[in-house]
Amino acid sequence: MRYSLLSRFRGALLGAALGANLGSEAPPSGRLGYSRPNIQLNRHPAWAGMAGASAESLIRCGGFDVEDWHQSCVLAWKPDDPSTEAELTPVAALMAILPLVLFYHEEDLIWQEHLWRASSLWSSVGGWKWGLWAFAYGISQSLQEKLSPALAIANIQKMAKIVSLPPDGQDEAPLVEVDKLADLLATKASWDRAVAELTAIGGEKQRLSPVRSGAPSLNTAFALALYSFLSTPEDFRLSVVLARRTDSHRQLTGAIAGALSGAYNGIAGIPLSWQMCARQTDTGRGLVSEPLPVEPFSLSPIPPPTASVSLLPLASRLFAAWAGIYNLNRQNIDSSASIIVPMLILACAPLGLA
């Protein structure tokens, strides 16, 4: 194993945050550079609260409790009036889904079932379910160290045909983008060519389906993010910087590419200068601040969302809950933490070894 599973948990959450923050601003003109970006993780965007609410629900309930999870996400997204359903932004939906996939990454059938159930709670997700599946598939395969770019795109093509069966006579939304994505990866096309061809497909579908105005452009964003990662899987910085160089949905493409590359390369793959830039916030206020003293853990009603979300401690707690640590408050979780695979415990039980 090149990277520990805890490192991949941390890399996925921090990578998504870095990518989304980097995509919140237009890229500089001129050649593609490697200078340190202006990443301001102390802005506490609403989508960061979605990641925290989703993860804390999984930790509190010991798994996916759909009512608790949904209530937590709604409260995090619209704390002033959670009784009314506010339409999620794509980045917020993605950040809510990410902890769910991390928690169930090794159970393919279970994470897919929970993914469809979670996404069905939000009407805005309907037009790009294939993209969410492709994103979750990439995270799951990376955490299991099974991800192969060539095999990944083949499986994404197969699943897109299933997910995209057109209900009510609607068009087969993502198939063109996915097929074009496979062609671009096979020919090792340049980023500029990928952007031009995938954007052209999205524009044409936008013209033919004005009623579903958001879905085509979002399908294009998912395709571009997948291309930026699958074409440069070993280079976190290049994947995220490329994903930023699009005309629309830069936050979404950045978050997808950042999460996928972070899960694949672990937190060690994120440039240290970027991590240091993210840490340069007030103590206890930044998205990646060091953990503060933990208050007693209880199964009380859902607490209101806090003003900040510390992603690295959150990733450690989520990893601990997945690993089955009994008392999350008293366990000091670091990169040397070891785990026991659940199926191994079941196999050893009849022998008296568990």
The model's pLDDT over 204-261, given as tens digits with 9 standing for 90+, comes to 665 555 544 445 578 888 999 999 999 999 999 999 999 988 877 889 999 999 999 9
The CATH number linked to 276 is 1.10.4080.10
> What SS3 string covers the chain?
CCCCHHHHHHHHHHHHHHHHHHCCCCCCCCCCCCCCCCCCHHHCCHHHHHHHHHHHHHHHHCCCCHHHHHHHHHHHHCCCCCCCCCCCCHHHHHHHHHHHHHHCCCCHHHHHHHHHHHHCCCHHHHHHHHHHHHHHHHHHHHHCCCCCHHHHHHHHHHHHHHHCCCHHHCCCCCHHHHHHHHHHHHCCCCHHHHHHHHHHHHHHHHHHCHHHCHHHHHHHHHHHHHHHHHCCCCCHHHHHHHHHCCCCCHHHHHHHHHHHHHHHHCHHHCCHHHHHHHHCCCCCCCCCCCCCCCCCCCCCCCCCCCCCCCHHHHHHHHHHHHHCCCCCCCCCCCCCCCCCCHHHHHHHHHHCCC
Residue 33 in any domain: the answer is no
pTM, 2 dp: 0.80
Residue 157 in any domain: the answer is yes
Ranking 3-12, 78-87, 120-129, 314-323 by mean pLDDT, the lowest is 78-87
The model's pLDDT over 326-346, given as tens digits with 9 standing for 90+, comes to 666 554 555 445 455 554 444
- 348 pLDDT higher than 80: no
Residue 13 in any domain: the answer is yes
What pLDDT, on the 0 to 100 scale, is given for residue 268? 92
Domain tally, the chain:
1
Residue 233 in any domain: the answer is yes
Q: What share of the chain has pLDDT > 70, as a percent?
A: 64
More confident residue, 167 or 298: 167
The model's pLDDT over 174-216, given as tens digits with 9 standing for 90+, comes to 567 888 888 999 999 999 999 999 888 876 665 555 544 445 5
Residue 113 in any domain: the answer is yes
What pLDDT, on the 0 to 100 scale, is given for residue 76? 86
The model's pLDDT over 132-177, given as tens digits with 9 standing for 90+, comes to 888 999 999 999 999 888 788 888 877 777 665 544 444 445 567 8
Q: Can you tell me the mean pLDDT for 41-54? A: 74
Residue 228 in any domain: the answer is yes
Mean pLDDT of the chain: 75
- 3 pLDDT higher than 90: no
Which residue range(s) make up the domain with 111? Answer: 5-28+42-284
Residue 351 in any domain: the answer is no
Residue 302 in any domain: the answer is no
